[in-house]
Amino acid sequence: MTQKEHPRLAAYARELRWALSALPDADRDSIVDEMRSHVLDRVDAGASVEDTLAALGPADDYASAFRDAYTVATSLSSGRTPHLLGALMRNVANSVSAAVAGIVILGAWMFTLMIGNVALLKISDPAHVGLWKSDHFFFIGIIDDPSTGRELLGPWLLPIALASLVISLLLTRWLAVWALRRIAPRR
Amino acid sequence: MARDAKRTGNRRTQMNKGVVELALLSILRERAHYGLEILDRMNGEVGLEVADGTIYPLLHRMETGGFITSEWVIEPDHARPRKYYALTVQGRAELRAMATEWRDLSKRINALVGKAGPEKE
């Protein structure tokens, strides 16, 4: 079959196979064979190879839909947070659920980063670092003159930063699974 | 005129996305079909305007989800094997649930559109 194959179809099959290299061999072969079957059926019905391939779109674009679905499915089955987060980020532009989850996760990590930095500073300079309150200000960070305000957290800043880290990790995992399950077909 | 046609096209594309899965499962309820057959029925019979490059990833996704199953079949009257898709038990259950949702939604939308009456120019 390959010897008689139309050069454009052979080239498209090669490009598609290459673009699907992340998928298991059996899946990749099946997708390429099905594309070939589709094109030849269209040609049998009177269409040209060129028009049929144009209707499928560029090989890489065509492959990306399979790749994305595979990434979501494998990250969900692996259950590993970095995989889940990677798959979530790749879908942020295509899914409202992924975008919402991404924004909440980003917010949680920005808060954790901020409170973590303050907690580290608290270790080296406990007198000037903390959550400060007076009649004129309320902030977390470093104060020039500790006598102008009252520090509210005291030694609790470090445990709170650690709790924030744990919550962010759990939230990242939970939201990524939630969003990816909404993207992937339910099993 | 061209802008109106484009707007209508965009509106239809958005609506189509929601019903393509329902149409796919409904087509497969009758018997197993191969990809091009499904595509031609969706576009010809249902008028969904599904792109050639969309149907196979959708079939792949639905198969990964366990709603459909596939099998390469060599037909006596056809030179090449074709990949046929059929509904699974889970796919039939999903179709029943989606059809119920669709009928409920259609009834509400029809009532809403009917209440609004014909648009005045």
Give residues with Cβ within 8 angstroms of A182, minimum separation 6.
A95, A97
Q: B89 in a domain, yes or no?
A: yes
Q: B81 in a domain, yes or no?
A: yes
Mean pLDDT of A71-98: 85
Which residues in chain A touch residue B24, judged by CB atoms under 8 angstroms apart? none
Assess whether pLDDT exceeds 60 at residue A149. Answer: yes
Give the residue numbers spanning the domain of B107.
2-116
pLDDT digits (tens, 9 = 90+) for A18-52: 999 989 999 999 999 999 999 999 999 999 999 99
**Which contacts of A146-152 are long-range, i.e. CB under 8 A and separated by 24 or more positions?**
none
Measured between CB atoms, does A62 come within 8 Å of chain B?
yes
Q: pLDDT category, A2, cuts 50, 70, 90?
A: very low
pLDDT of residue A61: 92
Q: B94 in a domain, yes or no?
A: yes
Measured between CB atoms, does A136 come within 8 Å of chain B?
no
Which residues in chain A touch residue B22, judged by CB atoms under 8 angstroms apart? none
First to last CA, chain B: 16
Please report where in the chains the tokens 């094997």 appear, as a residue. Answer: B81
- Distance of residue B24 Cα from the nearest chain A Cα, in angstroms: 14
Considering only the beta carbons, identify the residue of B60, B70, B80 that sits closest to A69.
Answer: B60
Considering only the beta carbons, identify the residue of B35, B61, B67 that sits closest to A34.
Answer: B35
Q: Which residue of B has its CA nearest to A62?
A: B53
Give residues with Cβ within 8 angstroms of B72, minimum separation 6.
A30, A33, B81, B82, B83, B84
Mean pLDDT of A5-29: 94
Q: Which residue of A has its CA nearest to B93?
A: A187
Q: B121 in a domain, yes or no?
A: no
Inter-chain Cβ pairs, chain A and chain B, closer than 8 A: 65
- Distance of residue A37 Cα from the nearest chain B Cα, in angstroms: 7
Listing DSSP states for B82-103 in one string gives EEEEEE-HHHHHHHHHHHHHHH
Q: For B105, phi and psi rounded to 5 degrees?
A: -65, -45
Mean pLDDT of A127-145: 91
Q: B50 in a domain, yes or no?
A: yes
Q: Which of A70-84, A123-137, A140-154, B78-92 has the least mean pLDDT?
A: A70-84
Over chain A, what is the mean pLDDT?
Answer: 90
Q: How many domains does chain B have?
A: 1
pLDDT of residue A1: 47
pLDDT of residue A70: 86
- Counting as low any pLDDT under 70, the low residues of chain B are 1-18, 118-121
pLDDT digits (tens, 9 = 90+) for A161-187: 999 999 999 999 999 999 988 877 654
Assess whether pLDDT exceeds 50 at residue A54. Answer: yes
pLDDT of residue B121: 56
- Distance of residue A104 Cα from the nearest chain B Cα, in angstroms: 27
Kindly state the percentage of chain A with pLDDT values over 90.
63
Dist CA A156 CA B25 (whole Å)? 57
Q: Is A56 exposed, middle or buried (0-12, 13-18, 19+ CB in 10 A)?
A: buried
Are residues A186 and B60, on separate chains, in Cβ contact within 8 Å?
no
Considering only the beta carbons, identify the residue of A27, A34, A186 that sits closest to B83.
Answer: A34
Are residues B53 and A52, on separate chains, in Cβ contact within 8 Å?
no
Q: B48 in a domain, yes or no?
A: yes
Q: B20 in a domain, yes or no?
A: yes
Dist CA B113 CA B118 (whole Å)? 9
pLDDT of residue B8: 57
Which residues in chain B touch residue A42, judged by CB atoms under 8 angstroms apart? 36
pLDDT of residue B77: 83
Which CATH number belongs to the domain containing residue B59 in this structure?
1.10.10.10
Are residues A184 and B61, on separate chains, in Cβ contact within 8 Å?
yes
Q: Which of A34, A51, A72 to mutate to test the interface with B (most CBs of B within 10 A)?
A: A34
pLDDT of residue B58: 92
Interface of B with A (CB under 8 A): 34-36, 51-54, 56-57, 60-62, 64-67, 70, 72, 80-83, 90
Please report where in the chains the tokens 């179809």 appear, as a residue. Answer: A9
Q: Would you tell me the crossing angle of helices B52-64 and A25-44 to the nearest 10 degrees?
A: 140
Q: B8 in a domain, yes or no?
A: yes
